[in-house]
Structure 1
């Protein structure tokens, strides 16, 4: 044999195949989580009608997932660092699959809410490991290609989720009504669990921090004290204990800050890195993410109820009506990161807030003008305008928020950004009781239901437009020229994963 002839290392080829299999598995899990949120939204009216759920229960079907996901995100990431990313990923995807089965076979609304909370908690174990596994598996020079694939998966999930939910609900497979939207996760989750055990390599943080259980408990307690009375208050006639609980939530959050400060000084492993809030752009960005989450939480639930309960549309028609919005978000997100933000900086994000606000106002005007006779094609223009505005915000926002954050804290900061966005989403879903159901009278006659829901939709959208104005003003505190993400540099979330975390 010629000594100059290159030798093929079969073990290297096997390792190369294994890491691409591992990538496909974690991308499928991220896609499953993303689709699960959008697929449920479109089926909410069908769940309410078939399962006999109250309005507060349908809020908790979505808000419970977001709350559990938010409360567990930082904890899930920390547990992966301590006990192994592969191990936590497998626990997460296995638990998510079991929770999906419990959702699909839920005997009553209470069981469905509890199963959705479990599902959100398991997603919080699974999703943070995705980025960590990619970083541990792929060298820096290949991550750009990998995260490009993530972006494509996110775009596909954003478009396919509502359509898949609409089709599964409309088809009523085996007479199961809405249940297949959860049961479809079972074969995917089982395959991910089996293949993940074989192909994903284990990795841990070299110096993992300790888990802050007290911090986790205070976060969950504070959020429950705020959200539970907010969601149930209207139904129960706004009792005094509800106001006391909501006021007490802020006391709990103050106690959380005090405890985290002491823990940081004692052993350097707080759940929340409070020093980050001394960075002006980060503090403002956290506020933007939270408020933006509130707007999205309000809009998507109210929009679904407006189309299906108010206008009486089928799930399929509602799902198809949302396609222009999803396409506009994906198109604007790619354009903003690649071309606009490098040239115009923060102004792109502020333009996004104004454009999205303008789309909301246009939607209010069209809904008022056409009333119950509004057609899907008439909604296309405001939805495209809203989608373009949202796309200009979601993709570059995290890089803008992280621009001035010290490199050693970028991982903690990214996790906190995703967490507060989910918390804002849960808060927005809770506020639906006030801004939407609060304008709709109880015990409506069938003839009054449509007009009441149309009026409630318009009222809720006024709040969403006001929130976009607040976001525009908060964005003045962001850096004028946000630093762009450089792969292999600081561990920030790539655009595709950021969008997945946002929607999820």
Structure 2
């Protein structure tokens, strides 16, 4: 008799618990989508800041008397600090918490942006740009790792589609936003609003991030690999610094020696990371990630794709502004159709196309980019310096669709099989490899673009034609690089794990922050209880 109330109360208790858990699950779902908006905004800020300064260089030179050497440091300093710190930033998130490191990064980025905006001399602006790049290296790797840890596998496709759209917008928004803010000369501040605009965005991101981002870190205790930090920073600087400044310095001998020295430096890094992994299991770079086929193949594609983007965006800007004599604003507006095409295609690719066609979507993207570039070459050759924005629109839209079909699914494919505890390290490696590819592309510009121009023979009447020819020559190089990318994509899995039939189930129960693990536990407990309860009644 005494057991009867207990048997009656158990289902009631379970019903009450289910009702109680339903509300938090809905609340958690809302919170993580707000958190996604916060981290995507931070990623957009970084993408814009990489390119926004180039447009404002004449204004910076005029107002604070920056020399040519200072301008080089203002533009390259950010990229150097950013590239050197990405892997370390990703690992710090794994160790100390991704939310914590993200908030530290966005706080530092916002303060550095204020210092850039209020800089009174070139030296202050250079120092602030270095800090800005270093804090971006703390902030950016957490974006992908927070996504990986916060969203279950079946939702990540949608999220990475949004991420690809943000990348597309950021690619051309920097020059356009820089042109508008500089041309408007708000409150007589000249170039300064290009940095000050980050302040309200950064403050809002900090406040909302503290409220809505859920903390996550590696499940097992890790320690910071200080020697690895020194080695990776040294190796990255030895490679990226000469590439970034090589053309401006007329490719000095020490630059080639430095780049050659980066090879044994990276070798020493790999050897030490293997030793560190055996010693205490806390390496800065988790080399076991490269044994995952999807990760290793995706990283290779990311490197070569970054190279193509590094070449294209720089030569296109030089071609339009110097070769065609277009204003920064017209140049920025010309890229809008490209940006829209990237955003739309990125959103569709992961959600609609990849689940059905797998890696063929990425390969179709490479072929579409090649087709768009070939059309661009034809238009540039046919119309010469008289080419108009409208005549570029068709090729740019085709290229944008192709890029959108690559950027979002590629990130999804790289991270699809990565263990949750290594999300930060993997995200840092993705960003670092992309940055290395862009740096290699920028270095290649000196060979494929400027190398084809006989500067001593340039006159005002021949500059346009010479730059147009150099642009077409550079585009043929990009076609070759994209053909290599198309072939490398055969090494990617036919479909990412979470897009297979039944795929993502186990992963989902491990990573769903909205209570999936708890729900599975409750269901298992209820089944056990029913068996036990059935035995009791029958007895």
Q: TM-score range by the shorter chain?
A: 0.7 to 0.9
Hey, what does 1:224 align to over in structure 2? 237
**Aligned positions of 1:375-414 closer than 5 A:** 375-402=388-415, 412-414=425-427
Using the TM superposition, give the Cα deviation of residue 324 of structure 1 relative to its aligned residue in structure 2, in angstroms. Answer: 1.0
Shift, 1:293, TM fit: 0.6
Q: CA 1:5–1:356 in structure 2 vs 1: closer, same or farther (change >3 Å)?
A: closer
Which stretch has the larger CA shift, 179-188 or 123-132?
123-132
Structure number, greater radius of gyration: 2
Q: Quick check: 338-347 or 256-265, which moved more?
A: 338-347
Query: 2:517 maps to what in 1?
Result: none
CA distance in 1, matches of 2:158, 2:409: 18
Alignment partners' CA distance in 2, 1:48 and 1:367: 32
Residue 502 of structure 1 corresponds to which residue in structure 2? Answer: none
Give the secondary structure class of the aligned counterpart of 1:326.
helix
Pairs aligned (count): 490
Equivalent residue in structure 2 for 1:167, among 154, 175, 180: 180
The 5 A counterparts of 1:272-283 are 272-283=285-296
* Residue 347 of structure 2 corresponds to residue 355 of structure 1: no
Give how far 1:289 is off. Answer: 0.6
> Could you say which residue in structure 1 is the equivalent of 2:474?
460
**Once the 2 structures are TM-superposed, how far is the Cα of residue 379 of structure 1 from its aligned partner?**
0.7
Aligned to 1:93: 106
Contact persistence 1:35–1:160 (CA under 8 A) = yes
Following superposition, the deviation at residue 344 of structure 1 comes to 2.9
Identify if the C-alpha distance between structure 1 residues 67 and 173 changes in structure 2 by more than 3 Å, giving closer, same or farther: same
* Structure 1 residue 488, shift from structure 2 partner: 8.1
1:345 aligns to 2:358 (yes or no) = yes
CA distance in 1 between counterparts of 2:311 and 2:196 reads 27
Contact 1:158 1:326 (C-alpha < 8 Å) held by counterparts: yes
Aligned match for 1:478, one of 485, 492, 512: 492
Separation in 1 of the partners of 2:165 and 2:109?
Answer: 23
**Structure 1: gaps of 5 or more residues:** 494-504
Q: Match of 2:384?
A: 371
**Would you say 1:427 and 2:440 are equivalent positions?**
yes
Cα drift, residue 62 of structure 1 = 5.0
Q: Deviations over 1:448-502 (max 9, x none)?
A: 5434433332232222222112112222222233334677864999xxxxxxxxx
Structure 2 CA distance for partners of 1:204 and 1:471, relative to 1, 3 Å: closer
**1-structure distance, mates of 2:272, 2:477:** 34
Question: Does 1:182 find its partner at 2:195?
Answer: yes
Provide structure 2 residue ranges, at least 5 long, that are not aligned to the other structure: 1-14, 512-539
1:56·1:231 contact (CA, 8 Å) conserved in 2? no
CA RMSD after TM alignment: 3.9
Deviation at 1:376? Answer: 0.4
Instruction: Note the C-alpha offset of 1:229.
Output: 2.6
- Summarize deviations over 1:85-124 as a string: whole Å, max 9, x none: 3432222112101221233344566654543332222112
Matched, 1:312 2:309: no
How far has the Cα of 1:208 moved from its partner? 3.5
